[in-house]
Chains A and B, each alone.
Chain A
Amino acid sequence: MEIVHVYVRRRGDFGRQSHFSDRPAELLVDIGPDPPLADGFIHRDPRDVATQSAQEMSEHQVNTERFESESRGINHVEGGWPKDVNPQEMEQTIRFRKKVEKDENYVTSVLQLGSVMENCIKQNNATDIYQDYSEDEEAADEVQEPPAAKTVNVFRDPNEVKRTVTGLSWHPDGNRKLAGAYSCLEFQKASKDMSFDSYIWDIENPNRPELTLKPVSPLVCLEYNPKDCHTLAGGCYNGQIAFWDTRRGSQPVELSSVEQSHRDPVYKLIWMQSKTGTDAFSASTDGQVLWWDMRRLSEPTERLVLDLSREGSLDAALGASALEFEATMPTKFMVGTEQGLVLSCNRKAKSPAEKIVCTFDGHHGPVYALQRNPFFPKNFLTVGDWTARIWSEDIKESSIMWTRYGTSYLMDACWSPVRPAVFFTVKMDGVLDVWDVLFKQNEPTLSIKVCDEGLYSLRLQESGRLLACGSRLGGASLLELGPSLSTLQRNEKSLVAAMFERETKREKILEARQRELRLKERSRSEQSREDDGAKEADGQEDPEELIARAEADFFSAIDAEIKRRQKEEDKHREKDVCEEKEVRNGAE
């Protein structure tokens, strides 16, 4: 039903401001309950009403004031002393300590702890419980194998008249071939029917040489060109240099002219590292080092006279018997001389006088072999007279390590290309010595008697396992080295480096000490000379007096002699006169 309320207003009252006033409540509509409608509703009892008896909570956020923290260490000075003991006072602390030591508890504790501790200490001493056992086994294996070498083959000189193998060279790749230079180095012992040939051997076939090289004069040294394995260069007994190409046969492809070559046998010839691969240099006992270009052997490209006075005169020159060149240092080379000196030279020096940089004086006899250590180029090995010496470039006065004086002359030596601590020497009694400086320094690690006659030359193959040595009667023996000698040991490089450094330092200290002593001597002698100077004013008269006296004596002696002679003459004359007189008297 619709409730409507009607109110009337006069048209002229429209738009007038409204006046509000209070008026009592007026009942407008009253709607009573309608029973038929009540049937649409159900009475519900009970009714569920939810309530909660929890604390009322609310979320709040608070920002506290910043807390500053910093890391600090504590220096623990002296701990926990009870209040009555002043830690600084010795007496009080000692008293306290003594008191504690008397305590029963202390004694038992210490005894018990002591036994436990002892057990652990003994354990430590007995075995190293943290040791790496597997590593140990490997080491044991290595040590067990002793160094060994055995002869594989012997290549004998096919000629009747046996010549010495004076030079050996391995083929640069493949290492299947060995070139040997045969000549007779004993002065004037070369017989007329001695052949001049040198041979190239294939190591598998010792019966027949693979190729014969026919030079004009026996070859003293022979080298394969490391860049071109078909070419070889050889130095002859008469001083010439010859160049072969194995593809072209036995005759040398080129031969240097006699006038321009050496005047003495060429003892060593080395190929150099160059772009063309045809440069080599040679040294001989005539005192010259000559550089050659193999394509043009008519004259050497450069000449150096080993004259220590730097004047370039051949008369004063030192004869070269060994030569050394290391490819990593292409401008420097070293020469070993007959006089026992080793000269270090610089090829790129501006004037010939500066070419000889420094000398190392070590041997009493000719230096027969000279080689830098392939792993430590600052250290080099020289062999001459009866010893082998290892030098460091920095110490010029003496070698840093040397062997004892052996019983026979050492003729050749070389380092092992794989192990920096191992080197080999050959001697005149036919023995090959293997020296391992890390193992034993006084004696060779291994000595093998290769043959009865003397061994003159030695060369190791690049792999380090095969070794060729040549004897006086033309037999070139090929030896194979055991694995312990031809494989790099653990830490070997660092140990050898440390050893060389140590020896170098020792020599340096000795040198410095010598210099000090010398300076002291000099200053002392200068001082004494000053003292003498004061005395000399008186002393000067002494020698003069002496001279005057000596002169006086001399002259007086002469005068006395003259007078004596004169007296004798007069006597003779008187006698004659008397005789004459007698004769005349007699005659009359």
Chain B
Amino acid sequence: MAEVEETLKRIQSQKGVQGIIIVNSEGIPIKTTMDNSSTVQYVGLIHQLVMKARSTLRDLDPQNDLTFLRIRSKKNEIMIAPDKDYFLIVIQNPSD
């Protein structure tokens, strides 16, 4: 439990990190550093996107699987690390 906190704190302290969300496979945000409405919005939309990305990869090659998803936009970068039951979403503003 404490390690989890520590990890999250470490990530939060990195330069440019704007928010962290941990979601379970059903789309319930377990832990978040942002306000509720944004969290819910992010989770709903990203969950669908990750499912789609994963199924795309699987369709192309059934042996393959999604390890990391990075969405870079004009304003910031959304990084998603998926796992079997949970995924970790981090929104960062890159340094340049």
Residue positions of A touching B, CB distance < 8 A: 76-81, 96-97, 100-102, 105-107, 109-118, 120-122, 124-125, 128, 130-131
Contact = CB atoms under 8 A, between A and B. Distances in A.
Contacts of B27: 76, 79-80
B81 A128 contact: no
Interface of B: 1, 3-4, 7-8, 10-11, 14-17, 22, 24, 26-28, 30-31, 40-41, 43-45, 47, 67-68, 70, 72, 77, 79, 81, 83-88, 90, 92, 94-96
A124 B1 contact: no
Complex A-B, nearest 7 residue pairs according to Cβ-Cβ distance, in ascending order: A76-B44, A80-B26, A79-B27, A114-B7, A113-B88, A113-B81, A128-B96
Given A81-B28, A124-B16, A125-B94, A76 B45 contact: yes
Nearest to A120: B79
A112 B83 contact: yes
B40 A116 contact: no
A102 B31 CA distance: 12
B79 A111 contact: no
Most chain-B CB neighbours within 10 Å: which of A97, A101, A113? Answer: A113
Contacts of B88: 110, 113-114, 117
B81 A117 contact: yes
Contacts of A112: 83
A113 B30 CA distance: 14
Nearest to B17: A121
Contact of A109 (B16, B67, B85): B85
A40 B33 CA distance: 107
B7 A124 contact: no
Contact of B22 (A81, A102, A110, A116): A110
B26 A121 contact: no
B26 A79 contact: yes
A118 B16 CA distance: 12
Contacts of A79: 26-28, 43-44, 47
Nearest to A121: B14
Nearest to B4: A110
B2 to A, nearest CB: 10
A77 B28 CA distance: 10
A128 B14 contact: no
Contacts of B28: 78-81, 96-97, 100
Contact of A118 (B14, B72, B86, B94): B14
Contacts of B85: 105-106, 109
B30 to A, nearest CB: 5
A117 B11 contact: yes
